[in-house]
Structures are given as structure tokens and as C-alpha cells.
Structure 1
Amino acid sequence: MSKSLLIISRQAPWAGPSAREALDIALAGGAFDLPLGLLFLDDGVFQLLAQQQPTALQQKDLTANLQALPLFGVESLYASSRSLSERGLSEQPLALPVEQLDDSQLTLLIDRYDQVITL
């Protein structure tokens, strides 16, 4: 049986390659039916904003990658409610439906997975 994998994405989509790498790992794992979850934490929650304009920063848009996650079987999507709140995103429409978790729920989530990757 495959080990489960939790990917924690902590970087804003325009802060370097980490956000794209986290999504690429999730999409690849989903393509191979690996049981995985994706957690948006800290500045990683900025990836969930619906109306991004990355061309102004000469970056690529991650929206298509995000929208492809459910198509690849990646449906366990989570976000830190504290991270969203601290960045003023609690009331913003998000690009994907995510389960918002408080700090104690995040600890339980991380404990449920066999392996954890933080990018």
C-alpha cells in the first residue's frame, strides 16, 4: 500500500519556484493515485486568491494548475484559518474549495500522514 503524503505549501505564488513545485508534486502524485493532501499555510494561502495577475511580476499563472488538482484526484485541500485571517483573506473568495483548519486541527492533520513535504 502507498504511503500517504501531505504537501505543505508555504510560499506565495510570486515568491519563487516553491509554489509551482508544490503543485507539480501534488499533480504528479495524484496522477499515480498516491494518497495525498495539500495544505496552504502562511503566505501559501495567497495561491488561493481567485483574481491573480502574475504577469505584472513577470510570473506564470498558477490558476490552471490549481484548477487541475481535482481532475488528478487531489481533493484533500486544506488551508490554515489563522494564515487566511492574518493576511486579510478570511472573507475573500478562493479559487478552490478548501477545508479551513485551526491550529489544533492542523496538528491532527499532519499526524494523519505518513510523510510530509514542506515547500
Structure 2
Amino acid sequence: MTKSLLIISRQAPWNGPSAREALDIALAGGAFDLPLGMLFLDDGVFQLASSQQPSALQQKNLAANLQALPMFGVEELFACGHSLRQRGLEQNDLELPVDILDDAALAALIARFDQVVTL
């Protein structure tokens, strides 16, 4: 039986390779039909911001990877509502439609998956 996987991405896209690695894991898992979800938490919610200018920091844009998630079967996308509010982001500021969760829903989400990877 295939185990489900939740990937929790906690790093901003300009703060090292963790954001890209989380997306790569999600895309690879989706390509193999692994049941998985992705949660953007803490500074990881910045990955979802549509007004990024990564070239100013000599970084690659993650927007194409984000847009590819649903095409690879990764349709369970979540963001922490508290993290979004702390960083001044709202649903209409985001590149992708995500389910915004409160603290209680976060705990239930994490408990629902068999394995959790945090990057």
C-alpha cells in the first residue's frame, strides 16, 4: 500500500535551495502518482506570492514549478493562514489557489498523512 506524503515548505524562495528542493520532491512524487500534499508554512508562503522578482537576487523563478504542481497530480495545496497574515499576504496575492488553514486545521492535516517531510 502506498503511503501518503505531506511536504511542508518553510523557507522563502530566496533563502537557499530548500524551497526548490521541496517543489522538486513534490513534482517527482506526483510523477509517480504518490498521494501527496504540500503545505506552505512560515516564510514558505512567500513562494506563493505572485509579485516576486527573483532575478534581482540572481535567483531562478519558482513560478513555473508552482504552476506545474497540478499538472503532476499535486492538487492538495495548503497555506497557513497565520503565516500569510504575518507576512501581509492575502489569497488574491498568491500565484496558485491554495486552501488556507487555521491552526486546528493544520494539526488535522498533518495527522492525516502517513509521512511528513519538512524543508
- TM-score bracket for this pair, using the shorter chain length: over 0.9
1:56 aligns with 56
After TM superposition, give the deviation of residue 57 of structure 1 in Å.
Answer: 0.3
2:46 aligns with 46
**Please, which moves more after superposition, 82-91 or 94-103?**
82-91
Q: Residue 83 of structure 1 aligns to which amino acid in structure 2?
A: S
Provide the rounded CA distance (Å) in 1 between the counterparts of 2:41 and 2:91.
17
Indicate conservation of the 8 Å contact 1:10/1:42, yes or no.
yes
Aligned ranges 1:90-105 → 2 under 5 Å: 90=90, 92-105=92-105
Provide the rounded CA distance (Å) in 2 between the counterparts of 1:104 and 1:91.
19
Provide the rounded CA distance (Å) in 1 between the counterparts of 2:74 and 2:54.
24
Q: Percent identity?
A: 74
2:88 aligns with 88
Q: Please, what TM-score do these two structures have when normalized by structure 2?
A: 0.98
After TM superposition, give the deviation of residue 5 of structure 1 in Å.
Answer: 0.1
Structure 1, unmatched stretches of 5+, are none
- Number of equivalent positions: 119
Provide the rounded CA distance (Å) in 2 between the counterparts of 1:2 and 1:91.
32
- Runs (4 or more) in structure 1 with deviation over 3 Å come to none
Q: Residue 22 of structure 2 aligns to which amino acid in structure 1?
A: A
Give the RMSD, CA atoms, in angstroms.
Answer: 0.8
Q: Residue 8 of structure 2 aligns to which amino acid in structure 1?
A: I
